[in-house]
Amino acid sequence: MKLLLSLINLTLFISILIMVISSMLSKKSISDKEKISPFECGFNPKSNYRNTFSIQFFLIAIIFLIFDVEITLLLPLILTLNSSNLKIWFILITYFILILILGLLYEWKFGALDWLN
Whether 86 contacts 94, CB under 8 Å: no
Contacts of 63 (CB under 8 A, 6+ apart): 107, 112, 113
Tell me the pTM. 0.47
Which pLDDT score is estimated for 9?
A: 94
Which pLDDT score is estimated for 98?
A: 92
Helix (H) or strand (E) holding 71, with range, is helix 55-79
* Ordered structural domains, the chain, with CATH: 2-109 (1.20.58)
Sign of the four-CA dihedral 66, 67, 73, 76? negative
What pLDDT digit, counting tens, does each position of 42-54 carry? 555 565 555 566 7
Mark the ranges of the chain whose per-residue pLDDT is less than 70. 27-53, 115-117
